[in-house]
Chains A and B, each alone.
Chain A
């Protein structure tokens, strides 16, 4: 067995009271493709950020090619020929590919920027590793897949021998992901050593040589990919078996929400085009898609934030003429925004204020322009109790809540008013397994109570568990709906790639 090219020894990192990494030790060998597996919050990204010098660890050290790296210095990691591909790409959109690649590679105080030899080297790397991209394109004009290639090229340009990829397939389709892993395998065969972070079991099993499982900030297991199974990894990753609640069969009722050939334009670009769907009472319609294909615009449309520029949007049998968040809420639409911190809560306001903000103009919570604080607090207390929100009272700032509890509060403030329609955009993004189960249980309970649910999600498992029918969203268009019984990962993967005629 070859020598380790990289060793992390006893890494510990705390954020306040949270221990993100607890005495983590791991090794990477030459030519190896190692998967770092763990669910959200297991400490994978923190660990890689320490390795790359973005964070300084509280204890432990990083040794690359036999030399210890000084903590907290990305430049040292680069000089030790370690490259990192961030989940949220670290690219400047207004600069060109070549500028993004060569920034910081030459001595800061020197004349002239040698773009032509850089261009030649970049082209050679593109050809050698199969990473095609135009060096002179503005990064903002590139597709997501191309941007990822730029990220990888940035490391290769600096002669990286070790490459770290954080959730590299989060923004890719099934097919693009397979292609990426083939590229990564090729790189490993050419002698590079790679670590990729993932929580997707099938990818880990298919692509990696070896798997290290992280849970609660600790390394809980290490397996050779060939010698383990999906079930074993799932159990190691989650620790305890959390039974996700199951959907039961029920006949849907009347159509409560319907879109017919809806277009949404914003400053000259078409965000949604000819979108049609219908959601019935007691039914969940799932919208699956790869990140960035128009989910945000769709979420805005069905939350009252974006107007249809063409087509009809009907709710409860009536066409919506002038949509607004207020009119939607008044009509009995519960809304869970895709980004709870940006849109769901005002972090510096109190829990009770956040609980009533979207309904505060109703007579229940205000009178003559004044907020009725007693009923408002009581409402917040009800939501906290009924939906098991932990970590705060109605009078504590909402930012003190964990992501899961914040999401339970958002869900609760909507469900406590028994909405006819529920819009759930990425309802479990970034939550741990326990919180996911709780959110799913509530969504299923709403479905049983006859609510029409529109679920927008990038998580295949979530769609398969909750939805009755599925449509895929691709570049602002929706596929026809298929019943969940006819959906399997392969077919959904094709639909998410925009191939739905053949699949139908």
Chain B
């Protein structure tokens, strides 16, 4: 018996991999739920109810999905071109900070229809810049971007902390470190009244479609795919690897920065250092579960958001720590990797 690489991965298997991975992760996490002394099936049932059981919970889940789609896309586009951007967390924060700074009453004074796009662009630019630094270090000095992007996440959060305790500090926040709030014109319109769900969701889904179009139909898509799959052959064919990487970094960092800006403009209205419960890192899981496919990212983000929102409700009811959601999500990354392995090989006797 031995393993043999498949010539072609059929679509059915490509879809079966993430589904199998999620089921495996849920089964494994079930052991932990049982250890915690809760009935496993009921726990999962309550998670579903927690995420979809009411109008409020559905809108909460979709609100949570929005930044995950964006950070998931950020990871997916970067990984496709073999740019290991693990810095989406930091890019998210600087994007959020840029939007909060320019969207406050001390910032830009524009009418809403101009202010909102301007703040989004500002967030995206801030995120992109934070990724261009490690990319430059890689291209110029050969420094592996995995570690530098990881380290910059800490620097970015400290920078945000410095700003919100310094020049951007909200004097009305009773001493809590948070930034001055954005003006009313800067907040995103709601998608559904009396909920937190905002039009950011539509923007995120729209961007997923747009990126799918770019990747499958444009020159840039073709060249960046070639550069990711075989840099040496791409270079021989005349693809500028540097050019591709710079564009990919702008796109990836921009998406993560935009996620931060949208979270500020759509949900919080100001920045704190706990704005993101790890959206940047979770985006990596989302991207991998999606097989790096932009449309898959939307589905994977919805799954991850379901886990997080659902776990809160389940935790309140059954006393299982809500960290179970983190366990399920991180386990599903590992099981997905195994799933990808199993689908790209077949067993022969």
Contact = CB atoms under 8 A, between A and B. Distances in A.
A343 B235 CA distance: 8
Contacts of B167: none
Contacts of B225: 346, 349
A291 interface: no
A260 to B, nearest CB: 25
Interface string A325-345: 110010000010100001111
Contact of A326 (B218, B220, B221, B238): B238
Contact of B219 (A345, A346, A349, A370): A370
A344 B235 CA distance: 10
Given A347-B229, A347-B230, A358 B237 contact: yes
A400 interface: yes
Contact of A371 (B7, B219, B230, B348): B219
B5 to A, nearest CB: 9
Q: Which of A335, A342, A370, A399 has the most CB of B within 10 A?
A: A370
Interface in A142-176: none
B7 to A, nearest CB: 5
A349 B232 contact: no
B235 A325 contact: yes
Nearest to B220: A369
A326 B222 CA distance: 16
Interface in A253-286: none
A360 interface: yes
A345 B237 CA distance: 9
Contacts of B348: 16
B218 A369 contact: yes
Contacts of B237: 325, 357-358
A369 B247 CA distance: 14
Contact of B238 (A348, A358, A366, A373): A358
Given A16-B4, A348-B229, A360 B236 contact: no
A329 B233 contact: no
Nearest to A348: B229
Question: Taking chain A's interface residues, is the majority helix, strand, or loop, or is none over half, making it mixed?
Answer: mixed
Interface residues of B, number: 23
A358 B222 CA distance: 11
A345 to B, nearest CB: 6
A462 interface: no
A303 B219 contact: no
A305 B235 contact: yes
A41 interface: no
Given A305-B236, A337-B236, A344-B233, A400 B7 contact: yes
A345 B8 CA distance: 17
B234 interface: yes
A504 to B, nearest CB: 35
B226 interface: yes
B217 A345 contact: no
A324 interface: yes
Interface in A380-405: 396-397, 399-400
Interface string A41-61: 000000000000000000000
A343 B236 contact: yes
Given A357-B226, A360-B222, A344 B7 contact: no
Given A358-B237, A360-B219, A400-B7, A343 B229 contact: no
Given A361-B219, A366-B219, A370-B217, A324 B233 contact: no
A397 to B, nearest CB: 7
A32 interface: no
A353 interface: yes
A234 B230 CA distance: 38
Nearest to B2: A56
Given A360-B222, A369-B220, A325 B229 contact: no
Contacts of B226: 346, 349, 353, 357
B233 A345 contact: yes
Contacts of B239: 357
Contact of B218 (A342, A347, A349, A370): A370
Contact of A325 (B4, B217, B219, B238): B238
A348 B219 CA distance: 17
B217 A346 contact: no
A15 B4 CA distance: 8
Contacts of A366: 219
A251 B219 CA distance: 42
A152 to B, nearest CB: 32
B233 A342 contact: yes
B347 to A, nearest CB: 13
A321 B269 CA distance: 55
Contacts of A357: 222-223, 226, 234, 237, 239
B217 A371 contact: yes
Contacts of B234: 346, 357
A360 B4 CA distance: 34
Contacts of A349: 225-226, 229
Interface in B1-26: 4, 7-8
Contacts of A304: 238
A356 B241 CA distance: 18
Nearest to B227: A346
Which of B226, B233, B348 has the most C-beta atoms of chain A within 10 angstroms of its own C-beta? B233
Nearest to A335: B236
A343 B218 contact: no
Nearest to A344: B233
Interface in A385-435: 396-397, 399-400
Contacts of A324: 238
- Taking each of B4, B217, B221, B232, which has the highest tally of chain A beta carbons within 10 Å of its own beta carbon? B232
Interface of B: 4, 7-8, 217-223, 225-226, 229-230, 232-239, 348
Given A357-B223, A369-B220, 6 more contacts: A329-B238, A343-B233, A349-B225, A357-B237, A361-B219, A371-B217
12 contacts: A303-B236, A325-B236, A335-B236, A337-B236, A343-B235, A344-B233, A357-B237, A358-B237, A361-B219, A370-B219, A371-B219, A371-B222
> Nearest 4 CB-CB pairs, A to B?
A325-B238, A326-B238, A358-B237, A343-B236
